[in-house]
Amino acid sequence: MWDTPVPRPADSQTPVIWLLGAHGGAGVSTLESMWAPAADSQRGWPSAEKAPFVVVVARMHTVGLNAAHRLCLQHQAGEVGGCSLLGLVTVAAAPGKPDLTLSRRRELVAAAAGASWHIDWVPELLTSEPTELAQWTPDYTPPPAKRFARPLAPTDAVPESVATAAAEVFAAAGEQWRNRPGKP
């Protein structure tokens, strides 16, 4: 848990949403590049920040889900300062549907997180630099799809599962902000 502001470049804006990687390789750097209102919390709860909204990010494998579960339990135990957990974002670890055991484990962790979103496998992300990726903003509109065409590269358009998760996470943050106790 950070008891000082999360180290960030001086010229960066305060994020609306913090991405808390449950483990190395969770996908936080990629999501930070693609979700304009989000930033990496550097593997700690950003308890000293003005924006308290956090999503735990984990790769969809046993190690990732177990690490995410521990973070969700920390939140439930009140050990995260003033942070507000919006939910869990899982990132596909391989193409196709995950094994049934992993899917059940994800359901358990998602229940502990309160909400969940999933980012599908996007093979082009493996060969793209984060700075080249298309960026989701609250007013993002995907480019028009061409009939029978392959999906656009993530450098040209935000992949659908990434954009959908971003919009829903951002909406959840807005809802919690509007319903916060003691609001002015």
Per-residue pLDDT band for 65 (boundaries 50, 70, 90) equals: very high
pLDDT in tens, 18-60: 999 999 999 999 999 999 889 999 888 886 556 689 999 999 9
Partner residues linked to 90 by β-bridges: 58, 118
The tokens describing 155, both together, are 């450098």
pLDDT at 14: 78
Per-chain mean pLDDT for the chain? 89
CATH architecture of 17-178: 3-Layer(aba) Sandwich (3.40)
Residue-wise over 150-169: b if at least 16 C-beta within 10 A, else e? eebbbeebbbebbbbbbbbb
pLDDT in tens, 111-150: 999 999 999 999 999 999 999 999 999 999 988 878 888 8
pLDDT in tens, 76-102: 998 888 889 999 999 999 999 999 999
Burial class (CB in 10 A: 0-12, 13-18, 19+), 22: buried
More confident of the two residues 73 and 47: 73
CB 17 within 8 A of CB 165: no
User: Cα(109)–Cα(111) distance, rounded to whole angstroms?
Assistant: 5
pLDDT in tens, 107-118: 999 999 999 999
Lowest-pLDDT choice from 2-6, 20-24, 64-68: 2-6
Per-residue pLDDT band for 182 (boundaries 50, 70, 90) equals: low
CB 59 within 8 A of CB 91: yes
CB 18 within 8 A of CB 51: yes
- pTM for the model: 0.90
Q: Give, in degrees to the nearest 5, the angle at Cα 179 between 175 and 183.
A: 130
